[in-house]
Amino acid sequence: VSSVLLVEDDETIGRALRSALTSQRYVVIWVRTGSAALNHEQEVDLVLLDLGLPDLDGVEVCRQLRVVHRGAVIVILTARDGEIDVILGLEAGADDYLVKPVRLSELLARLRAHLRRASTPLPQAPVRTVGALRIDLDARRAWVHERELDLRAKEFDLLARLAADPGQLVTRETLMAEVWDENWYGSTKTLDVHIAALRRKLADIPADADPSLPSPTVDTSAPVVVTLRGRGYRLQASSSTRG
Ligand code: CA
């Protein structure tokens, strides 16, 4: 049984979402304000967060919920014209978004996909390496030369997928289908934001992570995510970009 923290101040929408979720056997905790959401400290599997809240800024609530519910999948709900909110929300730690009015069938399909992904380990070798990057697929942890990357669930999935074909093009469609279980048009923003976050985190690893090593014979720097415009991405060991 999966638990959902539903944060929605609109009575009509909240009631509809709650009954749809309850009918699918989710345990729903419905709160109507940002502060009530932040006060809910019990662990949940999923957070469904309306960004337009009466008391607090929804993006800030998202940021704080990400810290409290580290392992949960966070899906934000935004108004039709809320494109900026979507990007800010994803950057604040949301895994996905839905635009209101939300189609219940789409919502339920998406939540199922997220939860399935969160609970199913990737069916490949348990450790994957690309240059100085090492990924433990079972533990869902990644290191660049002994420095652990602090990755969110989707960032990890994305990195693991790119690392499955190091040095090769992985198309946007493949990433959307395999990491998000989606292939529709609107969601690709999610991909862009997650790629950007992943790049930032990889770039934050200092190249000389271990000065005791006899560089340059050992590459201690993080691999890079290369954009192939309009097509997809390629993860490659940093040494190969230096020529
Ligand atoms: Ca609202």
Local confidence pLDDT in tens for the 243 residues of the chain? 899 999 999 999 999 999 999 999 999 999 999 999 999 989 899 999 999 999 999 999 999 999 888 889 999 999 877 788 888 999 899 999 999 988 898 899 888 888 877 665 545 557 888 888 999 988 889 999 888 999 988 899 999 999 999 999 999 988 988 888 765 555 578 888 999 999 999 988 766 545 555 555 556 678 999 999 889 999 998 754 443
Q: How far is the CA of 161 from the centre of ligand 1 (A)?
A: 35
DSSP state of 186: G
Q: How far is the CA of 13 from the centre of ligand 1 (A)?
A: 9
Q: Which two tokens stand for residue 243?
A: 């020529």
Give the per-residue pLDDT at 178.
Answer: 85
Q: How far is the CA of 10 from the centre of ligand 1 (A)?
A: 6
Q: Which two tokens stand for residue 189?
A: 């923003």
Sheet strand arrangement including 127-130: 127-130, 133-136, 141-144, 147-148
Q: How far is the CA of 9 from the centre of ligand 1 (A)?
A: 5
First to last CA, the chain: 52
Q: How far is the CA of 43 from the centre of ligand 1 (A)?
A: 23
Give the per-residue pLDDT at 45.
Answer: 92
Q: Of the candidates 16, 56, 19, 20, which has an alpha carbon nearest to the alpha carbon of residue 36?
A: 56
Q: How far is CA 185 from the centre of its chain?
A: 18
Q: How far is the CA of 17 from the centre of ligand 1 (A)?
A: 13
Phi, psi of 141 (to 5 degrees): -130, 155
Give the per-residue pLDDT at 131.
Answer: 87
Angle at 199 between CA 185 and CA 220, to 5 degrees: 145
Q: How far is the CA of 195 from the centre of ligand 1 (A)?
A: 29
Q: How far is the CA of 153 from the centre of ligand 1 (A)?
A: 26
Q: How far is the CA of 31 from the centre of ligand 1 (A)?
A: 12
- Unique residue bearing structure tokens 């290369």: 226
Q: How far is the CA of 202 from the centre of ligand 1 (A)?
A: 36
Q: How far is the CA of 49 from the centre of ligand 1 (A)?
A: 9
Give the per-residue pLDDT at 182.
Answer: 64
The helix (run of H) or strand (run of E) holding residue 22 is: helix 11-23
Q: How far is the CA of 86 from the centre of ligand 1 (A)?
A: 14
